[in-house]
Structure 1
């Protein structure tokens, strides 16, 4: 593209005295953009018709120009009024501004980005007005963000690897209006660790109320299987009702492990702030013990110390002991993967951050939309494999012979 001559720039800038005159709503730049859109639209129509405006060659042809259609475009430069060329037959489909299009120039992406950060529709509308001079209703913002629903559907149905050495299933409680009443509803995140040692979100599912049946979980797990995931080595969960039965039915070869992160998190719920550090340190002696026997001894020592103040913690660990002890058959590398807080807690922290400004969601779809956008943003940063992954992969291959597809990695 040729450089604009200085004399043309000087002529354009004549009378521009303030930043508002140049870049504000209705300023020089927005006027230029509007004129350029109109000019480009006219050029597209010329190409469609096959002759220039006023060209005698167009006489007697089956189609011709038919004036313009006025519309207002919401843009990062503010609202810009334009007139888009049209033809008499109605066969012309403009590309610079498509039929029905009301926003232009990356405004959609800006709105979706603000929404993904947890901003409410009202906050977004205020920012669009203050920063860009764009008037946007809540319905308009909803319509823009609803465009990601197709992306969510595609993501929920995408093919998966056939093996994920570790899969975590976790729940995040979200307030959703259900049957006219705001209720606490769980949104379940299925997070996998693939054979390259990278975290990968596999699914997001809105539950009914935290007491899902084995039938519900069977559907969730069969969905993963139908998308190609045929082998899970270790499935870490939080004792969700019916999930163990569903895992046995769909991934019978998987070790169902009570998630150590959840045990720790749930234990600390009962602890006063002043005792939290000491309790956490004593629990570490349990889950970082070298053997199941040593862990049992550490738990006895823990209950001797803390049962008088927090008896529920010891009871909870003992009730989960059968699903916790498989943990001690693993090498230190695999144990570290399972009990590290980075895999689950970091994700939950990011998701909670974006929903904290929301009183409640009007629908399941609205909650899923925001959480998926936040999860998508977070997962784009998961590029590096976890620490010491090659050694951990070797350990998985030894402990689960024939189940790790080493030739495909």
Structure 2
């Protein structure tokens, strides 16, 4: 009997044959792992040898004398080195519990689920993940299986969305973004409300996200009440877009919060109602207002804007006048604070990152998972305080006395 046949009979591993196969694979440019990898039969052999040893040990220590071998079961085992048919010995009494590969276990690589979650968190769709898993692991996986794996994120997301928050946030940005999602077989539009806070150390933190049919002050009221229930007692400056009744909703929950409407949103909304031939000239006059060195000068420029354009674009001028109290708050601050609060750019930057993870239309459940993963990826980069935070927080402490809870050693 040759050494190779003897090894197969006795359950030993022919390491010389393994070495030959590996070297041959390297010379021929074939992979060691995955589909047709040289290591795949080696792993199969090792596992079957281990299982044979386990049943021999089980039978030798079995109290019932009549228990004995009863053939073998076969199943397809998926491993990081490829898939193969594994033969597992069984006993007559059914008391044998293999440990190397347990009953009903079909995946040897426990990291597979972690890899799938990682790919999902990187913004890959179900089809791309399935294709990647099949290529790398030689294992076919359906979209339903991937969804089931990623569903393990849902309790984590629910816990994160209900976590306690800090009592005071100096600055909070609030804005909504729209998604197309699949609901009852139809593609519908949903608004995701996102809240980005800057804590007392100047660190950015996503406080939560909420899904609704459309953006509206009434729903924001519920969102703000949720923040309060989770421990937020005070907000110094709330930076928001020009949604009607939004300032009223904010002050009904946080009465001492200063509302700063986004200048960029106000400009965008204004230009929608300005003729294209007037846009350049109109914008030149608008810049004088929002780039003024102080509020008094800005108000003079606003009067000039009314005199020049009020007859032609009364609705636009009236919007600036009606919103002026909430638009002009930033003028009293120094440049570091001004740059931070006069627009909602920080949260719009977050929205751009979220968009990278939500390119495909998905169910509401999948959207929650995608948005959460996107947020956690973005937060990994938020390790430093916002720029010039020391100057900013000093200014805020002057304008909002006794409201910050900063303890100096």
TM-score, normalised to structure 2, is 0.79
Q: CA deviation at 1:199?
A: 0.9
Kept in 1, the 8 Å contact 2:83–2:139? The answer is yes
Deviations 1:327-369 (A, max 9, x none): 223332222211356512211111223333x2x32x3222121
Gapped regions of structure 2 (runs ≥ 5)? 1-13
1:289 counterpart = 2:292: yes
- Equivalent residue of 1:171, what SS? strand
Q: Are the structure 2 counterparts of residues 18 and 171 from structure 1 closer, same or farther at C-alpha, using a change threshold of 3 Å?
A: same
1:223 counterpart = 2:233: no
| Aligned residue pair count | 393
Equivalent in the alignment of 1:188: 193
1:25 counterpart = 2:29: no
- Equivalent residue of 2:387, what SS? coil
Q: Which moved more, 1:68-77 or 1:227-236?
A: 68-77
1:145 counterpart = 2:150: yes
Distance between the aligned counterparts of 1:310 and 1:32, measured in 2? 79
Distance between the aligned counterparts of 2:89 and 2:312, measured in 1? 78
Q: Which moved more, 1:250-259 or 1:197-206?
A: 250-259
Distance between the aligned counterparts of 1:6 and 1:272, measured in 2? 81
Deviations 1:234-280 (A, max 9, x none): 11122445543442232112112213343345456668999988876
Equivalent in the alignment of 2:4: none
Kept in 2, the 8 Å contact 1:187–1:204? The answer is yes
1:298-337 aligned at under 5 Å gives the runs 298-301=301-304, 313-337=316-340
For the aligned residues, what is the CA RMSD? 4.0
Kept in 1, the 8 Å contact 2:172–2:237? The answer is yes
Equivalent in the alignment of 2:22: 13
Equivalent in the alignment of 1:201: 206
Kept in 2, the 8 Å contact 1:233–1:254? The answer is yes
Equivalent in the alignment of 1:405: 405
Deviations 1:27-49 (A, max 9, x none): 22334445556677889xx6xxx
Kept in 2, the 8 Å contact 1:218–1:246? The answer is yes
Kept in 1, the 8 Å contact 2:170–2:235? The answer is yes
- Equivalent residue of 1:53, what SS? helix
Q: Are the structure 2 counterparts of residues 353 and 13 from structure 1 closer, same or farther at C-alpha, using a change threshold of 3 Å?
A: closer
- Equivalent residue of 1:407, what SS? coil
Kept in 2, the 8 Å contact 1:68–1:86? The answer is yes
Distance between the aligned counterparts of 2:111 and 2:132, measured in 1? 15
Q: CA deviation at 1:203?
A: 0.3
Distance between the aligned counterparts of 1:304 and 1:175, measured in 2? 43
Kept in 2, the 8 Å contact 1:286–1:295? The answer is yes
Q: Are the structure 2 counterparts of residues 31 and 236 from structure 1 closer, same or farther at C-alpha, using a change threshold of 3 Å?
A: farther
Which residue, out of 102, 106, 120, partners 2:111? 106
Distance between the aligned counterparts of 1:14 and 1:124, measured in 2? 31
Q: Which moved more, 1:119-128 or 1:230-239?
A: 119-128
- Equivalent residue of 1:22, what SS? coil
Q: CA deviation at 1:10?
A: 2.4
1:169 counterpart = 2:179: no
Structure with the greater alpha carbon radius of gyration: 2
Q: CA deviation at 1:228?
A: 1.9
1:53 counterpart = 2:63: no
Kept in 1, the 8 Å contact 2:177–2:191? The answer is yes
Distance between the aligned counterparts of 1:36 and 1:91, measured in 2? 19
